[in-house]
Chains A and B, each alone.
Chain A
Amino acid sequence: MLEIRNLQVDRGGNTICRVPRLTVGHAECVALVGANGSGKTTLLRVLSGLERAFQGDVAVSATMRERVYLHQLPYLFRGSVLANVMLGAVARKLPRRQQLTEAHQWLERLGVSHLADRQSGRLSGGERRRVALARTFITGARLLLLDEPFADLDRSGIDGVCRAMAALPEATFLLSSPGVLPQQLADARVNYLDPPS
């Protein structure tokens, strides 16, 4: 799915991300683990196309429309939770009825179906993340780049996210984590990132 060689991102004269080599196969789940400042977010942003100033070779076999990136602090638009999740289906140009059905399904999988009609500004941190994850999963993207998807989540929230990820067997996941991964992701390949010196 993707191959990186000698990736380096510099900003303000400092190197903020350095990845000598990384390969991720189709339908694989890879966790980027590293301390703060090791460049996990930058790497995910490079792969999502949001960060364009980099050196090195990055080859991704998914078009921009087939990739989706979830911010470390997800942004929710004004309006209801349901409207936010349906925004994720916009690129697929599905009929509205199908968008609604799928949005409810993803909210259900992530354990937040009761929040469908609530305004996005009235959610807790964990609820916001689960709603943002539902919006990310509904895109149908082949490559999902998730920046610390388990932050702010309690046990049931983590279970919900892992359950939702399992519902996308064809998708490739690249996710970042500052430390230990949940038990449900024991099979995920871990790639350690060292802070660039």
Chain B
Amino acid sequence: MELLWNGLTGALQLLLELDPLVLHAAWRSLWISGLAVALAACAGVPLGLLLSQSQFIGRSLCVVLFRAGMSIPTVLIGLVCYALFSRRGPLGSLDLLYTQWGILAGECVLALPIIVTWTHRAVGGLDPRAAETVWTLGAGPWRRCWELISEARAGIALALLTAFARCLTELGIAMMVGGNVKYRTRTLTTATAVETARGEFDRGVAMSTILFLVALLVTVLHAWCNRGKKEG
């Protein structure tokens, strides 16, 4: 108990002193996760919309595969990315291993199935009259897509927040692809693991506290979006 208490007070001191190691890791975690979700959303939202509105051979298989993709362990994604980005791998020439961009690519893969599946559910769960109405009013394909996305925006926001929370708290990709290089690829999760293992408990708790606060913020936003969905 004393260890935890000392850790918490030490963590508070580090946060108040704006410890550069903690701040760097926090900032890196936030921008990598945010950008990964934004990039995955560019492909994931249209894909989810397509799966919910179109009929084509293999559609159900795609839905099942994306759904299954949500539960892939992050170490497996990390392993595949490592194999792809390593010097002997097919993407070795891109020099992505042990870089922030490598972590970003891995987190995009992590976020994509979450965004596709939840967008598919959100748009597919809309009243069928929504799509019929916008079609019969003569809107073109882009406008129809826009109206449906707009109508399902609470559900899509939930998808993005869920993906962001998953990317922010993952360890496997950041550790395997990023390599936990100090001031270069260290994120909140890898730093927590390493600092705690080295006996720097204060710093580990400080990192975890930031993770917890961000996760709490995401949960509050999640609940707020869900409330909007129920009212809509």
- Which segment, of B21-29, B58-66, B69-77, B143-151, faces chain A? B143-151
Secondary structure class of chain A's binding surface, majority of residues: mixed
The reply to whether the CB of A128 lies closer than 8 angstroms to some CB of chain B is no
Known: A75-B127, A121-B232. A87 touches B134 (CB 8 A): yes
Residues of chain B contacted by A135 (CB below 8 angstroms): 137
Residues of chain B contacted by A69 (CB below 8 angstroms): 132, 136
Residues of chain B contacted by A73 (CB below 8 angstroms): 129
Known: A87-B147, A90-B143. A75 touches B129 (CB 8 A): yes
The reply to whether the CB of A88 lies closer than 8 angstroms to some CB of chain B is yes
CB distance from A173 to the nearest CB of B (A): 15
The reply to whether the CB of B133 lies closer than 8 angstroms to some CB of chain A is yes
Interface string of A84-107 (1 = CB under 8 A from B): 000110111000000000000000
Chain A interface residue count, CB cutoff 8 Å, equals 24
Interface string of A46-79 (1 = CB under 8 A from B): 0011100000000000001101110101110110
Is B151's CB under 8 angstroms from A77's CB?
A: yes
Tell me which of B134, B138, B143, B231 has the highest count of chain A C-beta atoms within 10 A of its own C-beta: B138
Of A50, A77, A92, A121, which one neighbours B136 at CB under 8 angstroms?
A50
Tell me which of B129, B136, B232 has the highest count of chain A C-beta atoms within 10 A of its own C-beta: B136
Known: A75-B130, A78-B151. A65 touches B138 (CB 8 A): yes
The reply to whether the CB of A8 lies closer than 8 angstroms to some CB of chain B is no
Is B136's CB under 8 angstroms from A68's CB?
A: yes
Secondary structure class of chain B's binding surface, majority of residues: helix
B143: nearest chain-A partner, CB-CB? A90
The reply to whether the CB of A139 lies closer than 8 angstroms to some CB of chain B is yes
Is B150's CB under 8 angstroms from A77's CB?
A: yes
Is A91's CB under 8 angstroms from B132's CB?
A: no
A48 vs B139: C-alpha distance when bound (angstroms): 14
CB distance from B146 to the nearest CB of A (A): 10
Q: How many B residues touch the partner, as a band?
A: 10 to 19
Of A50, A74, A91, which one neighbours B138 at CB under 8 angstroms?
A91
CB distance from B138 to the nearest CB of A (A): 3
Is A77's CB under 8 angstroms from B132's CB?
A: no
B147: nearest chain-A partner, CB-CB? A77
A136 vs B136: C-alpha distance when bound (angstroms): 9
A91 vs B127: C-alpha distance when bound (angstroms): 22
Known: A78-B232, A87-B147, A90-B143. A68 touches B138 (CB 8 A): yes
A65: nearest chain-B partner, CB-CB? B138
A184 vs B209: C-alpha distance when bound (angstroms): 71
Residues of chain A contacted by B132 (CB below 8 angstroms): 50, 69, 71, 75
A81 vs B88: C-alpha distance when bound (angstroms): 60
- Kindly list 9 other residue pairs between chains A and B, CB separation below 8 angstroms, not including A49-B136, A65-B138, A141-B138: A50-B132, A71-B133, A75-B127, A75-B129, A75-B133, A78-B150, A90-B143, A139-B137, A139-B138
Interface residues of B (CB under 8 A from A): 127, 129-130, 132-140, 143, 147, 150-151, 231-232
The 9 closest A-B pairs by CB, nearest first: A91-B138, A75-B129, A69-B136, A75-B133, A65-B138, A90-B139, A71-B129, A88-B137, A68-B136
24 residue pairs bridging A and B, Cβ less than 8 Å apart: A48-B136, A50-B132, A50-B136, A69-B132, A71-B129, A71-B133, A74-B129, A74-B133, A75-B127, A77-B133, A77-B134, A77-B147, A77-B150, A78-B150, A78-B232, A87-B139, A88-B137, A90-B139, A91-B137, A91-B138, A91-B140, A121-B232, A135-B137, A141-B138
